[in-house]
Structure 1
């Protein structure tokens, strides 16, 4: 899947650090042998960064004749939240059929394997850490190509009607309904952030009440792309797809947090105008007048994510210093929201 840096990267690990111990390694080897239709031995297990909801490992397979060494990605849910890996895998397969670049799904282990809620995908070369591909001169051409590639990927994902995905247990709703669900979470947590109160009040009369028109990725942003020297290699992290409108994905891509200190509003690498032009050139349609509303919604959604992660730690549900540290970013988002609503830009 990626060259995500993490402790242990670049060195072999002892079996005690495997994702499921010796029994898990044997189960993985048997599963891979069946999926790849050849004998498989795992030579090394390398942990990769996986986000708040996932644990991720790269499995280096021993050389076989006539094939050489191969790598695959093993990803397992960390907390049981979000869609199951089996549903995520099916969304990825269908997205790939639409022309969206995604890591190929190799296998979804059955519960009886004892491996947990997990998926095995192919390894795709590329850089997932956005600050690297945003700044490194090796990715200069890639950054120039990204607006067109990303616009096209989103347009392809959004093209089918919701009925294309009807057999999958996916949620969603109108913009107004999504905002109300977020507000209920805000009240449940019980922490008052005046800038969030302002944002909810500003958004409430502006969010559409019309039904969803497409499946959205839900977390389409810099940091969830694999980028190589030619541009977009794969779209990662299919944990949050749901029914909404295209503007939700487009606005989320423009959230301040996903610029990683770079100047340009679309993930630090493009202008809003370039993104919309690329999206429309690939067959997508967007209501330009509502895009800013969804960008403000996206900034609030990120702020609520920070608040939720902090609450996970403080409540004891998921004790985690990382979640507590991310929670401190609520103040950054509060400042962004006030600026965005007052100035009409961010």
Structure 2
């Protein structure tokens, strides 16, 4: 669990750096004063001012943040001393739109780059082999004795030609003992295991990941498949959102920091390929959620900027800030509920 927490904090710091970096670049290009670009929280262990912006690293180097003039109140900085034309609300609505949009856009771009590199160096998955890749820790498969690179020859005497056949058989035999004939190197062994129902995938499982077959592709193809997979992840987020709005998925099913830390550990133990794909999906997740038109999120700022572009009238700054404050309270409340559900799930398991 400790390693899972460390990995979770590390990848979320990378995600936050990409996100805040997008806001930072957009603000600088728009001529908005950036008071500070920092990594971590707690007492500062290093800081340097360059061109009016303080760059800092704090004692606990986790996550990142950007402080923008006119948007954030910063201790030790008198907003009245900053020229009005360098403040967030002094800029045209389209520039404020771009600044809010660039954070989520950088997360989605990072997902695209990650997936393109994965496809470029490893190849594109073209199906499953009959070999086992990863065996999940403490799973039925591990307890039964299945290992990495075991080849499934037959189940209950029925020959297995494709891994899909083995998966279907396992899925359809909840609480029924199966006899698996395995080839391990030059040795043939028989293993007995009883699949158990998995609530998340709605089927019986043993707890192993098949070895995928990969096809090498050229750089342009890797970019194409990276874009295709990124779009597929975005569409998946729309499906999840629809299920939340229609009640098909409950808030209790959502994962907060504790749940994501556990999932991070599981993907890390499944190999670097699964971990990188999970990292890409987290980036898409963060980017998508921040674009939702809700107060306190980037999408909320985009809504106000869009209203101003269309109507030529600005919602009062004080009203905008108050709405975002209430939105932040609601968001933190939701996060607390989701985190509590994470902890209760962890204790039950």
Give the TM-score category using the shorter length: under 0.3
TM-score, normalization: structure 2? 0.25
- Structure whose CA Rg is larger: 2
Q: Which structure shows the bigger proportion of residues in strand conformation?
A: 2
